Copies of this chain bind each other. A is one copy, B any other.
Amino acid sequence: MASLRDIVTSASINLLSAFGFLMAFAILRIQPFNDRVYFPRWYKKGTRSSPTRSGAYASKFVNLDCRTYLNFLNWMPAALRMPEPELIDHAGLDSVAYIRIYLLGLKIFVPLAVLSFMVLVPVNWIGDTLERAKDLNFSDIDKLSISNVPDGSKGFWAHIVMSYVFSFWTFYVLYSEYKVLATMRADYLASETRRPDQFTVLVRNIPPDPDESVSEHVQHFFCVNHPDHYLTHQIVYNANKLASLVSKKRDLQNWYIYYQNKFERTSKRPLTKTGFMGLWGTQVDAIDHYTSQIQKLNEEEAVERERVKKDPDAIVPAAFVSFKSRWAAAVCAQTQLCRNPTLWLTEWAPEPRDVYWDNFAIPYFELTIRRLITAVALFFLIFFFMIPIAFVQSLANIEGIQKVFPFLKPLIRIESVKSVIQGFLPGIVLKIFLAVLPQILMTMSKIEGYPSISALDRKSAAKYHMFILVNIFLGSIITGSALQQLKTFIDLPPTEIPKTIGVYIPMKANFFITYIMVDGWAGVAAEILRLVPLVLFHLKNTFLVKTEQDRYEAMEPGSIDFPVGEPRIQLYILLGLVYAPITPFLLPFIIIFLAFAYVVFRNQCKSTFMSRYGSESDKFDYFLLLLERNVVVCLCKVINVYDPNYESAAAFWPDVHKRVVIGLFISQLLLLGLLSTKKIGRNHFALLPLPVLTIWFFMYCKGRFESGFIRFPLQEAMVKDTLERATEPQFNLKAYLKDAYMHPVFKSSDVEKSDFTFEEEKSPLVATTRVATKLSPDVNSSSPVQSDA
């Protein structure tokens, strides 16, 4: 077992590395060399709101003012100072809600830690069980844990009472956070300007009609059943082949532009080879070659485009149906249309950019089969992952390594090496395993057939949470203990097993403390700079990028972090809840992680959006924009929140709430199990009401708040409709909605236009708080920094 010294070594290493990253960030940040990257707008305007840079303009490249180095951490209070509504305006509600998960953790654990150290640590300390039981391995930290209280002691009443206090405090915090989030979401939705998804409902499982096309069928059905409200609809095409043609064409166009540029620069017609990547084959004139290729593809594409639009088989039995008012859309999304509840399924349409186009054609039966298969697959995934984890972790044990690789003995005997191995290895092993997983889980969610990217993210997060729960949490406790104590277990009578596990749950605290440091502390700090993507971008920029378009694509934000980040926080919260009554010593580590992450992410959230560009685009600015965009995007990834693909208005909060409640429930059951081994008669049954109360609390909150995250109240819809009718009576809604839900491939011909002319900013119809799919400086148009210019 790791001793207190191992923990201290590990903690200092981790703190140092975190500090190093922060230093690097802070120093880079105040260098004039990088100033343009981090604060470009302020520069131009000459505002001096950032005190760190007030005297730093002396030198062009290096900041020589020592004062700024001394208070290089003062971005932290600044990060905390920005009011939340403004933050929502800038970063969207999703980001703010995500940050509030950390805040939730802090609100739970700071009082818990204070109470634990005031009440439970003294109670644990005065026990002396571990010193007397010489046959068990234990460390110094365990003396502060419940293991140190002698069996049958009256001291366990302290743990029981504190468990009640902890639970009720957690209830209180969870409830008030849920309430705040529900209000935030309602306010956010109420304050939004007109958006296509407010008027639109996604209809799936449209039954085939022998006499009518899907489009006619939809139109007739809604004209009959929503006669006063139906406005228009958009059918969904199965455009996979077309999409691949379009993407191929874009690739060729890119090459064409590249050679065109080259030709303009060198005035010499470039050559290329017809084979793969232009590496072999016959040599031809590049510009001519690509011109003809593009021409050919253009023809193919036109044919395919016609086919898709005309072929009835290319039409998926789903449609986006739009209504004349938000009220009617809200009504249609919430009601059952057809007698057969698996046909004409309606649901709130996702935002156009949030639509996941591949999942519309799945009939109901196939959907449930897919979910069954995914559930079974998930089970096996979780189950078989345990074997390698257990194996590698048993190796990561010093004694285990010595046994398996006896030749390493002399190296391991060096105390510092031993500490490093003890401290880092188990955590890193887990991290490597986890890195493989999110993509698999996302694929499984896609198979399950959810129609929007936000839903896919939420479902992936749920799967990942389950994985973490079983493999990291339970797997580390049970498998680890089992491998260490397997021989002991086999020799003991079965009644002794729960007792043995009971003793080993608190002793696993060391492992989890290390894990929090490796995964949490260093992880957050390392992600501030996102060195890897930055380096990758610069490499790409130098070697691969051929055109502006390429450069733009090189700095794409890539995948989303919510499905990975959120379950990870949940693991820390679970650990905190489980160990709060057992080993309070673990709590400060969690609090440091949460506080650190909260401040950092809040700062990123703020500075990311504060430093956004406007829509000016002279050459140099545009390059700067790209560069800054790169940093911004990287920082966005740090935030783990800011997902440029959609704004779900904190739709994930019910999941967050549920998982914290699950953590609380598990912690209560584990404490109950642990105390039942402590020979305190039947006193541990005093804990039984807690899980019941927890379930009730969950049900209550679900009924009280959840529908606010799923449904759209008619009252709100009516208010917005009325307001709109009064202010813009002549507005042509049909024209506005006409192409809102068109498959992106049909819009592909004007990709460049939509990307670079910032169409959305020019259009007053679109919410200014929205962040468009790609390069979209429209966010800034409502930013206070801009508006006072």
Q: Do A342 and B704 touch across chains, with their CB atoms under 8 A apart? A: yes
* A332-340, A574-582, A618-626 - interface stretch: A332-340
* Complex CA–CA separation, A462 to B91 (angstroms): 48
- Does residue A224 face the partner (Cβ distance < 8 Å to B)? yes
- Does residue A707 face the partner (Cβ distance < 8 Å to B)? yes
Q: Do B334 and A714 touch across chains, with their CB atoms under 8 A apart? A: no
* Complex CA–CA separation, A629 to B714 (angstroms): 49
A703-B335 in contact given A225-B718, A495-B494, A718-B225 (Cβ < 8 Å): no
A708-B341 in contact given A336-B334, A336-B714 (Cβ < 8 Å): yes
Number of copies of this protein chain within its complex:
2
- Does residue A158 face the partner (Cβ distance < 8 Å to B)? no
* Complex CA–CA separation, A714 to B335 (angstroms): 7
- Does residue A25 face the partner (Cβ distance < 8 Å to B)? no
Find the residue from A186, A371, A493, A715 having the highest chain B CB count within 10 A.
A715
- Does residue A713 face the partner (Cβ distance < 8 Å to B)? yes
Given B341, B494, B704, which contacts A364 in the complex, CB threshold below 8 Å? B704
Which chain B residue shows the least CB distance to A340? B708
Question: Chain A 317-351 against B: per-residue CB contact (8 Å), 1 yes, 0 no?
Answer: 00000000001001100111111111010000000
Which chain B residue shows the least CB distance to A183? B339
Question: Chain A 693-706 against B: per-residue CB contact (8 Å), 1 yes, 0 no?
Answer: 10010011001111
- Does residue A228 face the partner (Cβ distance < 8 Å to B)? yes
Provide the residues of chain B in CB contact with A714, threshold 8 Å: 225-226, 335-337
- Does residue A692 face the partner (Cβ distance < 8 Å to B)? yes
Provide the residues of chain B in CB contact with A704, threshold 8 Å: 341-342, 364
Q: Do A716 and B493 touch across chains, with their CB atoms under 8 A apart? A: no
Q: Which of A369-385 contact B (CB under 8 A)?
A: 371-372, 375-376
Which chain B residue shows the least CB distance to A227? B718
Q: Do B707 and A336 touch across chains, with their CB atoms under 8 A apart? A: yes
Which chain B residue shows the least CB distance to A699? B368
A336-B713 in contact given A224-B718, A376-B692 (Cβ < 8 Å): yes
Question: Chain A 177-204 against B: per-residue CB contact (8 Å), 1 yes, 0 no?
Answer: 0000000001000000000000000000
Q: Do A334 and B334 touch across chains, with their CB atoms under 8 A apart? A: yes
Given B339, B708, B711, which contacts A715 in the complex, CB threshold below 8 Å? B339
Q: Which of A467-500 contact B (CB under 8 A)?
A: 493-495
Q: Do A335 and B335 touch across chains, with their CB atoms under 8 A apart? A: yes
Given B327, B494, B705, which contacts A493 in the complex, CB threshold below 8 Å? B494
Provide the residues of chain B in CB contact with A186, threshold 8 Å: 339
Which chain B residue shows the least CB distance to A373? B696
Find the residue from A375, A693, A700 having the highest chain B CB count within 10 A.
A700
Provide the residues of chain B in CB contact with A713, threshold 8 Å: 335-339, 341
* Complex CA–CA separation, A699 to B372 (angstroms): 10
* Complex CA–CA separation, A712 to B225 (angstroms): 13
* Complex CA–CA separation, A339 to B188 (angstroms): 12
Q: Do A703 and B342 touch across chains, with their CB atoms under 8 A apart? A: yes
Q: Is the interface of A mostly helix, strand, loop or mixed?
A: helix
Which chain B residue shows the least CB distance to A367? B703
* Complex CA–CA separation, A327 to B331 (angstroms): 11
* Complex CA–CA separation, A176 to B633 (angstroms): 55
Q: Do B335 and A715 touch across chains, with their CB atoms under 8 A apart? A: no
A368-B703 in contact given A494-B493, A495-B494 (Cβ < 8 Å): yes
Provide the residues of chain B in CB contact with A703, threshold 8 Å: 341-342, 364, 368
* Complex CA–CA separation, A692 to B371 (angstroms): 12
Provide the residues of chain B in CB contact with A228, threshold 8 Å: 228
A462 to chain B: closest CB distance in Å? Answer: 16
A696-B335 in contact given A494-B493, A707-B341, A714-B225 (Cβ < 8 Å): no
Given B331, B341, B344, B708, which contacts A335 in the complex, CB threshold below 8 Å? B331
Provide the residues of chain B in CB contact with A696, threshold 8 Å: 368, 371-372, 375
Q: Do A700 and B368 touch across chains, with their CB atoms under 8 A apart? A: yes
* Complex CA–CA separation, A365 to B696 (angstroms): 11
Q: Which of A664-718 contact B (CB under 8 A)?
A: 692-693, 696, 699-700, 703-708, 711-716, 718
* Complex CA–CA separation, A493 to B492 (angstroms): 11
A495 to chain B: closest CB distance in Å? Answer: 5
* Complex CA–CA separation, A778 to B668 (angstroms): 59
Question: Chain A 105-128 against B: per-residue CB contact (8 Å), 1 yes, 0 no?
Answer: 000000000000000000000000
Find the residue from A186, A341, A365 having the highest chain B CB count within 10 A.
A341
A330-B341 in contact given A364-B703, A495-B494 (Cβ < 8 Å): no
Q: Which of A704-749 contact B (CB under 8 A)?
A: 704-708, 711-716, 718
* Complex CA–CA separation, A186 to B364 (angstroms): 20
* Complex CA–CA separation, A716 to B339 (angstroms): 7
Provide the residues of chain B in CB contact with A712, threshold 8 Å: 336
Provide the residues of chain B in CB contact with A711, threshold 8 Å: 335-336, 341
A705 to chain B: closest CB distance in Å? Answer: 7
* Complex CA–CA separation, A696 to B365 (angstroms): 11
A17 to chain B: closest CB distance in Å? Answer: 45
Question: Chain A 191-229 against B: per-residue CB contact (8 Å), 1 yes, 0 no?
Answer: 000000000000000000000000000000000111010
Given B338, B365, B375, B715, which contacts A225 in the complex, CB threshold below 8 Å? B715
Provide the residues of chain B in CB contact with A699, threshold 8 Å: 368, 371
Find the residue from A225, A495, A692 having the highest chain B CB count within 10 A.
A225
Provide the residues of chain B in CB contact with A372, threshold 8 Å: 692-693, 696
Q: List 7 A-B contacts (CB under 8 A).
A: A336-B714, A339-B708, A341-B706, A342-B703, A372-B693, A372-B696, A493-B493
Besides A338-B713, A339-B708, 11 other CB < 8 A contacts? A225-B714, A335-B714, A336-B711, A336-B712, A341-B704, A341-B705, A341-B707, A342-B703, A371-B696, A493-B493, A494-B495
Top 5 A-B pairs, shortest CB-CB distance: A341-B707, A334-B335, A372-B696, A336-B711, A368-B700
